[in-house]
């Protein structure tokens, strides 16, 4: 077996040569532009030094430098069009952010956590760039989550191409726009990098991947992260991908490579990847000390390749500048940054009372009466339809209503090979919820994704940045976990972390739950509290066909990200069918439904436990003379505490019934809230009925034992009655 030997040290050094005197296409740049490039590079370095000083003085709270990466970024910014192209940057892209139009003040305001920080309004650490005017999308901290979002943003223009209503410059789509996504070499070890490469190459997307290789991921050297020590070598067999490697400390070489890579994408030849070798003269961040893992010799060697020093040398050797003039520029920039720092330090931090601001849309409130047409259904006919039918109908209505809406996920298309539809019916989802939608709205608006859940959610977030409305499907709740990083750290934080300037109002439909008889561990999962415990998300769990229709319409029309849980066991029941309620039927979030009145005990239920609670209540009434109220929560976040309160104040006893396992389930939170705010009205303990604290087993006898049954709810009711 052949073993590829990682690059040795000399080979790596060779990738960063010190020769800067060659003019590699720079004749296209005027002296003024070259000096401008130097000024941007020096400004970035100066900002790093200033921020480090502020941190040492306890006037800022974190520092992440971009030092060593200035040349490739300054060169790249010449080939980009702010407010036209789209940018997914990472924390070392200080020079790029400046090159795209950010000001030193924009960056320092983040360092001091000012209320007026345009990047995040004091929500994020500094160096997390964001600027909606320039199309710099909000940078987050997880390494690698930017890749799939960038793919989605690039794909948006491809999809828009086929949607005449939105394919225009007014909506921000241009024939030669590109998307730039940046990262370090370490982050390419994340699986999402490879997922994004797969889709970018498969769809020939206009996206430039700029990998800045400073040979370290904190203390971990490149040969540990990357097989063979070179990411560009590894990517050789990806189709349609232009790969270029360059000395990223050399402005002229970087300039030429960036020009080639961007124009390849602008011409729609496919994606490109630049592997730029850089240095890291400062430690990973201010909380790291690289002297604990890098030798003095290595660090001294790196200074020979310092991009700022090399650019100075280049300007002098090209007779564009003499040392005296350069020093004057340096002094002027240093003084200006000192002055700006003094100014930003006067800016107050956000007021404590604004801590909850920007979690959800402040313009569109899905709990409001605008989303309540529940009492005005417009029935077409008398047919009783299943939950699958009415979800499908809602999706179809909204596709018709919103040209920017798209649907994708695994198996959701009728047939990816469209021509087969002349002979076959089509798939339309493993539960057939999306059946017929591709045939009706075309393969560019309803399509299959690769078998990769992070890919689905990450791409959807990027598309939403561009104004598309993705309503995606994760095939089973049990398999949502690869997407959880995108859901929790990206989707849910987007609005908050950008101070309300970016959002990703996507809907994630997820078949969920057990009672399948044989569903086993991996086709019966619940666990909604992982999502209700994620600020910024809305979580919906309908129990019947009509509610599913009205709640889904609200989910699609609102501007918050929604996890829409569709109970598989309830998809095709006879007992929860409903009539098609018309194209404008909406149920607001946070509005529980009282489905049975009673005076003795309140049963709070959701999902499959709604039906079981009704059955138990009927038995309790008939056989024991106990009258229960049954409340169907319908949305878990927000939770309708008002309806819970008015029922508990009447019955004084509460049973919470849910399918998820008992401990840490939604019942724990509801019980805590009741104990806190309704204590004076209680005449008994708050009881819960739920699954055992284990996985749902395949054997039907075990499954029955593990999942809560009608008899369990009845037992809970009767035990409460005794108090």
**Binding residues for Mg ion (CB under 5 A):** 184-186, 214, 216-217
- Smallest separation, CB 211 to ligand TPP (Å): 8
- Smallest separation, CB 92 to ligand TPP (Å): 5
Interior/surface letters 647-663, b for 16+ CB within 10 angstroms, e for the rest: bbeebbbbbbbbbbbee
CA separation for the pair 561, 548 (Å, rounded): 17
The encoded tokens of residue 641 equal 């505490």
CA angle 316/320/326 to nearest 5° reads 60
| Among residues 104, 118, 122, 186, the one that binds ligand TPP under rule CB under 6 A | 186
CA separation for the pair 24, 383 (Å, rounded): 72
> Is there a contact between 67 and 45 (Cβ–Cβ < 8 Å)?
yes
Nearer to ligand TPP, 141 or 584 (CB): 141
Nearer to Mg ion, 214 or 493 (CB): 214
- Smallest separation, CB 226 to Mg ion (Å): 10
| Among residues 18, 83, 116, 141, the one that binds ligand TPP under rule CB under 6 A | 141
| Among residues 184, 366, 426, 470, the one that binds ligand TPP under rule CB under 6 A | 184
User: Could you say which of ligand TPP, Mg ion, none residue 143 binds, taking C-beta under 5 to 8 angstroms by partner kind?
Assistant: ligand TPP
What's the CA dihedral at 163, 164, 168, 171 to 10 degrees?
-60
| Among residues 127, 138, 187, 710, the one that binds ligand TPP under rule CB under 6 A | 187
| Among residues 183, 196, 373, 449, the one that binds ligand TPP under rule CB under 6 A | 183
Nearer to ligand TPP, 143 or 613 (CB): 143
What's the CA dihedral at 551, 555, 560, 561 to 10 degrees?
110
User: Could you say which of Mg ion, ligand TPP, none residue 142 binds, taking C-beta under 5 to 8 angstroms by partner kind?
Assistant: ligand TPP
Q: Which stretch binds ligand TPP (CB under 6 A): 107-115, 212-220, 465-473, 592-600?
A: 212-220
Interaction between residue 587 and ligand TPP (CB under 6 A): no
CA separation for the pair 74, 330 (Å, rounded): 17
- Smallest separation, CB 390 to ligand TPP (Å): 39
Residue 447 parent element (H or E): strand 446-448
Q: Report which DSSP code applies to 697.
A: P
CA separation for the pair 72, 44 (Å, rounded): 13
Q: Which DSSP string do the residues of 4-35 spell out, in sequence order? A: PPPP-HHHHHHTS-------SSGGGS-HHHHH
- Smallest separation, CB 124 to ligand TPP (Å): 12
The order of strands in the sheet holding 601-605 is: 593-596, 628-632, 601-605, 654-661, 687-691
Nearer to Mg ion, 203 or 222 (CB): 222
Q: Which stretch binds ligand TPP (CB under 6 A): 120-128, 140-148, 312-320, 469-477?
A: 140-148
Interaction between residue 185 and ligand TPP (CB under 6 A): yes
- Smallest separation, CB 249 to ligand TPP (Å): 14
Q: How far is CA 261 from the centre of its chain?
A: 27
Nearer to ligand TPP, 178 or 454 (CB): 454
User: Could you say which of ligand TPP, Mg ion, none residue 92 binds, taking C-beta under 5 to 8 angstroms by partner kind?
Assistant: ligand TPP
User: Could you say which of ligand TPP, Mg ion, none residue 183 binds, taking C-beta under 5 to 8 angstroms by partner kind?
Assistant: ligand TPP
- Smallest separation, CB 416 to ligand TPP (Å): 32
User: Could you say which of Mg ion, ligand TPP, none residue 55 binds, taking C-beta under 5 to 8 angstroms by partner kind?
Assistant: none
Nearer to Mg ion, 245 or 389 (CB): 245
Contacts with ligand TPP, 279-298, as mask; x by CB under 6 A: -----x--------------
Residue whose structure tokens are 């709740």: 477
Nearer to Mg ion, 277 or 569 (CB): 277
Q: Which of 587, 643, 560 is nearest to 368 (CA)?
A: 587
Interaction between residue 217 and ligand TPP (CB under 6 A): yes
| Chain residue whose CB lies nearest Mg ion | 184
Q: Which stretch binds ligand TPP (CB under 6 A): 43-51, 138-146, 357-365, 370-378?
A: 138-146
- Smallest separation, CB 292 to Mg ion (Å): 17
CA separation for the pair 615, 713 (Å, rounded): 9
Number of residues forming the site for ligand TPP (CB under 6 A): 14
- Smallest separation, CB 422 to ligand TPP (Å): 46
- Phi first, then psi: what are they for 9, rounded to 5°? -60, -40
Q: Which of 309, 303, 302 is nearest to 38 (CA)?
A: 309
Nearer to Mg ion, 217 or 258 (CB): 217
Interior/surface letters 701-716, b for 16+ CB within 10 angstroms, e for the rest: eebeebbbbbebbbbb
Active site residue 523: yes
> Is there a contact between 510 and 552 (Cβ–Cβ < 8 Å)?
no
3-class secondary structure per residue, 203-226: CCCCEEEEEEECCEECCEEHHHHC
Interaction between residue 65 and ligand TPP (CB under 6 A): no
| Among residues 15, 16, 50, 92, the one that binds ligand TPP under rule CB under 6 A | 92
| Among residues 132, 142, 482, 520, the one that binds ligand TPP under rule CB under 6 A | 142
> Is there a contact between 653 and 720 (Cβ–Cβ < 8 Å)?
yes
> Is there a contact between 632 and 612 (Cβ–Cβ < 8 Å)?
no
| Among residues 218, 328, 355, 451, the one that binds ligand TPP under rule CB under 6 A | 218
- Smallest separation, CB 140 to ligand TPP (Å): 9
CA angle 606/609/615 to nearest 5° reads 130
The one catalytic residue in 69, 284, 358, 523 is 523
Q: Which stretch binds ligand TPP (CB under 6 A): 136-144, 167-175, 422-430, 608-616?
A: 136-144
- Contacts of 255-264 with CB under 8 Å at 24 or more apart are 255/24, 255/25, 255/26, 255/29, 255/75, 255/78, 256/24, 256/25, 257/75, 258/72, 258/75, 258/76, 258/78, 258/79, 259/25, 259/78, 259/79, 261/208, 262/76, 262/79, 262/80, 262/178, 262/208, 263/79
Q: Which residues are tagged catalytic?
A: 523
Positions in the binding site for ligand TPP (CB under 6 A): 92, 141-143, 183-187, 214, 216-218, 284
């Amino acid at each position: 077996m052949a073993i590829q030997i990682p690059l040795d040290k000399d080979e790596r050094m060779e990738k960063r040569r010190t020769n800067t005197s060659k003019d590699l296409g720079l004749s296209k740049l005027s002296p003024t532009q070259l000096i401008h490039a130097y000024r941007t590079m020096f400004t970035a370095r100066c900002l790093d030094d200033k921020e480090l000083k502020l941190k040492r003085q306890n006037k800022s709270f974190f520092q992440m430098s971009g030092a060593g990466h200035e040349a490739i970024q300054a060169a790249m910014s010449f080939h980009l069009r702010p407010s036209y192209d789209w940018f997914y940057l990472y924390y070392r892209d200080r020079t790029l952010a400046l090159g795209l139009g950010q000001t030193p003040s924009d960056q320092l305001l983040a360092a001091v956590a000012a209320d007026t920080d345009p990047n995040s309004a004091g929500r994020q650490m500094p160096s997390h760039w964001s600027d909606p005017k320039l199309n710099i999308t909000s940078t987050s901290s997880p390494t690698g989550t930017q890749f799939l979002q960038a793919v989605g943003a690039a794909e948006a223009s491809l999809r828009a191409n086929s949607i005449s209503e939105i394919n225009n410059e007014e909506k921000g789509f241009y024939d030669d726009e590109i998307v730039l996504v940046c990262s370090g070499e370490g982050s390419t070890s994340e699986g999402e990098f490879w997922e994004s490469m797969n889709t970018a190459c498969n769809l020939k997307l206009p996206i430039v991947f700029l990998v800045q290789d400073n040979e370290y991921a904190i203390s971990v050297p490149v040969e540990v992260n990357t097989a063979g020590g070179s990411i560009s070598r590894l990517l050789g067999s990806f189709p349609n991908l232009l790969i270029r490697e360059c000395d990223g400390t050399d402005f002229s070489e970087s300039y030429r490579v960036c020009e080639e890579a961007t124009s390849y994408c602008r011409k729609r030849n496919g994606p490109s990847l630049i592997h730029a070798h850089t240095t890291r003269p400062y430690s990973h961040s201010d909380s790291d000390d690289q002297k604990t893992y890098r030798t003095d010799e290595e660090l001294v060697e790196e200074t020979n390749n310092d991009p700022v020093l090399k650019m100075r040398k280049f300007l002098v050797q090209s007779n564009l500048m003499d040392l005296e003039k350069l020093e004057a520029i340096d002094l002027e920039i240093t003084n200006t940054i000192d002055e700006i720092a003094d100014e930003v330090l006067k800016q107050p931090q956000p007021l404590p009372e604004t801590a909850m601001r920007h979690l959800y849309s402040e313009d569109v409130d899905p709990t409001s009466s605008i989303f309540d047409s529940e009492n005005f259904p417009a029935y077409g006919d008398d047919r009783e339809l299943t939950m699958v039918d009415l979800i499908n109908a809602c999706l179809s209505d909204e596709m018709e209503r919103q040209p920017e809406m798209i649907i994708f996920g695994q198996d959701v298309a009728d047939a990816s090979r469209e021509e087969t539809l002349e002979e076959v019916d089509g798939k339309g989802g493993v539960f057939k919820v999306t059946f017929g939608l591709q045939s009706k709205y075309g393969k560019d608006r309803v399509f299959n994704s690769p078998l990769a859940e992070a890919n689905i959610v990450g791409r959807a977030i990027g598309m939403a940045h561009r104004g598309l409305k993705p309503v995606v499907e994760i095939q089973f709740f049990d398999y949502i976990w690869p997407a959880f990083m995108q859901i929790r750290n990206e989707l849910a934080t987007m609005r908050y972390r950008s101070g309300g300037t970016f959002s990703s109002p996507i809907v994630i439909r997820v078949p969920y739950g057990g009672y399948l008889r044989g569903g086993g561990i991996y086709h019966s999962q619940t666990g909604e509290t992982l999502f209700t415990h994620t600020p910024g998300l809305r979580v919906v769990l309908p129990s019947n066909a009509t509610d599913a229709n009205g709640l889904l319409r609200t989910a699609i029309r609102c501007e918050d990200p929604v996890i829409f849980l569709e109970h598989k066991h309830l998809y095709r029941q006879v007992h929860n069918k409903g009539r098609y309620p018309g194209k404008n039927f909406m149920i607001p979030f946070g509005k529980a439904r009282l489905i049975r009145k009673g005076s003795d005990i309140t049963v709070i239920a959701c999902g499959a436990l709604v039906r079981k609670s009704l059955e138990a209540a009927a038995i309790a009434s008939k056989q024991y003379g106990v009258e229960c109220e049954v409340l169907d929560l319908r949305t878990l976040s927000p939770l309708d505490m008002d309806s819970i309160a008015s029922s508990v104040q009447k019955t004084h006893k509460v049973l919470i019934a849910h399918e998820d396992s008992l401990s840490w389930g939604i019942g724990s939170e509801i019980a805590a809230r009741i104990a806190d705010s309704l204590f004076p009205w209680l005449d008994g303990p708050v009881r819960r009925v739920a699954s055992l604290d284990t996985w749902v087993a395949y054997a039907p006898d075990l499954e029955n034992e593990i999942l809560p049954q009608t008899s369990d709810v009845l037992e809970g009711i009767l035990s409460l009655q005794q108090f």
